[in-house]
Amino acid sequence: MEHTPGPWTYREHLNDTFTILGRNLDAGKTGVPYSGEELTVVFELEDEADARLIAAAPELLEACEDALGIIGAAIGVVPNFQNDLTLAAQTKLLATIAKATGI
């Protein structure tokens, strides 16, 4: 199952709750009310720090994937680039990407 594509954002409500919003991919399709750039609710929470972190999730996943690719490319080109730190970073990035994607 694919996640709702980013970018995501969050909106604060008067009752101090926050809604995570993502693009409404169904807007304008037959049987779905068109709402222009309207976003669809991903879920709601009560903590703004959590809302900010979750709203950044798609970009964080993309940054992890990019960093993993850059480290992998540098290991093949830069002498002595592969070391305990780069191996630890690769391991952490792979685990984070797997956790986010379920793969």
Domain range for 34 = 9-55
User: Tokens 């669809």 identify what position?
Assistant: 40
pLDDT tens per residue across span 38-64: 556 656 777 788 888 888 999 999 999
Do 82 and 49 have their domain in common?
A: no
Do 61 and 51 have their domain in common?
A: no
Do 80 and 49 have their domain in common?
A: no
If one counts every other C-beta atom within 10 angstroms of the C-beta of residue 68, the result is 17
Does 86 map to a domain? yes
Say whether 11 sits in a helix, a strand or coil.
strand
Quick check: pTM over 0.75?
no
Do 38 and 62 have their domain in common?
A: no
Does 3 map to a domain? no
Torsion 24-28-29-30 (CA) sign: positive
